[in-house]
Amino acid sequence: MLFGFQMTDFLMFVCIGVLAGWIVGELRQGEGYGLFGNAIIGILGALFGGFLFEHYEVVNLVNIGFPPVMQTALSAVVGAGILLFCLDRLGMKT
């Protein structure tokens, strides 16, 4: 176990983070940081979004019947979007 994660959970988390980075890059209509940069932003955004959703209890899709992976994906996309917005405001554009 790695920090309380099983390896499959960790790999699923990384895959969802990479997917979230790609989705946010596509939503910005090609103004992302490239495939590798968007993947890193997606993984970091997934961590950030997961923290926000858990700490502030923004929305809990699991309580209304959605699978936990949907909660993780939504929090990853929101976190990656917020992170990308902050990077743009700091002047770190492509």
pTM of structure: 0.79
Q: Is residue 37 part of a domain?
A: no
- Weakly modelled stretches of the chain, pLDDT under 50: 1-2
Q: Is residue 7 part of a domain?
A: no
pLDDT at 4: 61
Q: Is residue 23 part of a domain?
A: no
12, 68 contact by CB (below 8 A): no
pLDDT at 1: 42
Q: Is residue 38 part of a domain?
A: no
pLDDT at 31: 65
Domain count, the chain: 1
What range defines the domain where residue 82 resides? 44-87
Q: Is residue 93 part of a domain?
A: no
Q: Is residue 17 part of a domain?
A: no
Q: Is residue 26 part of a domain?
A: no
pLDDT at 5: 60
Q: CB pairs under 8 A, 24+ apart, for 31-40? A: 31/93, 31/94, 32/84, 32/94, 33/94, 34/94
Q: Is residue 13 part of a domain?
A: no
